[in-house]
Amino acid sequence: MPTRARLAESLGGRLPPAGARIGLLGGSFNPAHAGHRHISLEAMKRLALDQVWWLVSPQNPLKTADGMAPLVERLAGAHRLAGGRRLVATDIETLLGTRYTADTLRALRRRFPKVNFVWLMGADNLIQVDQWEDWQRIFHCLPVAVLARPTYSLRASRSKAAVRFKAGRWAERRVRGLAEATPPAWTFLHIRLSPLSATRIRAAGPAGRNRVSTQQR
């Protein structure tokens, strides 16, 4: 198991204090881009979060390794874009030795029992979260905030997960308290949409990646 010092190092130098509200955004970040930053800042504002951690995955079990940049490269790109203060890119999933989201969330709760975590996901992930390993445990482990994404939002509202946890859905007008909610509790945040995706950026090649980086400076 990782030491407290190694955990702190992976989180930008300090562990979260008791009572902190922290959003967790998982993904390959292949590469990290302005869309990740956009939804993180929106979630931070709407949910009154202290930080958002980008959990840079060693390898998404549902994605092929073809075209996947090495972890060290993806993590470095995420660090540059996140900045490391309120947005923190981390390899903590690698340190915990977890592969599936449900296991990662359980491990984080064990490590930081006094922190109020919220799992963040795009509407595209809500559509297919029922394909994830032990997916219902995610909703029973932490509050969940689903953020609108272009073309996906309508289908997401009719997804298997949305129907299964309909009774635990919070109205947007009261979501500032979601971090302290008892799961299952989730909400759908209608935010200003960003058209960016990692797939489009990879397709654009180095020039596309450079444009995204330049726009964030």
Beta strands per DSSP E along the chain? 21-27, 51-56, 87-90, 116-122, 144-147, 169-170, 186-189
Model confidence band, residue 152 (pLDDT cutoffs 50, 70, 90): confident
Q: Using one digit for the tens of pLDDT, what is the confidence trace for 76-114?
A: 999 999 998 899 999 999 999 999 999 999 999 999 999
Kindly state the tokens that stand for 89: 């890119």
Model confidence band, residue 65 (pLDDT cutoffs 50, 70, 90): low
Residue 188 has pLDDT above 70, yes or no: yes
Pick the more confident residue, 210 or 73. 73
Sorted by sequence, the CB contacts under 8 Å of residue 76 that are 6+ apart come out as none
CA–CA separation, 100 and 97 (whole Å): 10
Q: Using one digit for the tens of pLDDT, what is the confidence trace for 196-208?
A: 544 454 355 554 4
Q: Check if the beta carbon of residue 155 is closer than 8 Å to that of residue 112.
A: no
Q: Check if the beta carbon of residue 45 is closer than 8 Å to that of residue 21.
A: no
Residue 27 has pLDDT above 60, yes or no: yes
Peptide bond into 184 cis (omega under 30): yes
Pick the more confident residue, 123 or 153. 123
The pLDDT, as a whole number, for residue 204 is 54
- Residue 89 phi/psi, 5-degree rounding, is -90, 135
DSSP collapsed to 3 states, 189-207: ECCCCCCCCHHHHHHHHHH
Residue 211 has pLDDT above 50, yes or no: no
Residue 63 has pLDDT above 80, yes or no: no
Half-sphere CA count of 184, side-chain side, radius 13 A: 15
Crossing angle of the two packed helices 34-47 and 71-82, in degrees rounded to 10:
50
Domains of the chain, by residue range, sit at 4-215
The pLDDT, as a whole number, for residue 209 is 46
Q: Check if the beta carbon of residue 156 is closer than 8 Å to that of residue 114.
A: no
Task: Identify the residue whose tokens are 């709407």.
Answer: 46
Q: What mean pLDDT, rounded, does the chain reach?
A: 89
User: What is the fold of 4-215?
Assistant: Rossmann fold (3.40.50)
Q: Using one digit for the tens of pLDDT, what is the confidence trace for 40-61?
A: 999 999 999 999 999 999 976 6
Distance of CA 178 to the CA centre of its chain: 16
The pLDDT, as a whole number, for residue 216 is 39
Model confidence band, residue 217 (pLDDT cutoffs 50, 70, 90): very low
CA–CA separation, 33 and 111 (whole Å): 29
pTM as predicted: 0.87
- For 186, other C-beta atoms within 10 Å of its C-beta total 26
End-to-end CA distance of the chain: 37
Model confidence band, residue 150 (pLDDT cutoffs 50, 70, 90): confident
The pLDDT, as a whole number, for residue 153 is 83
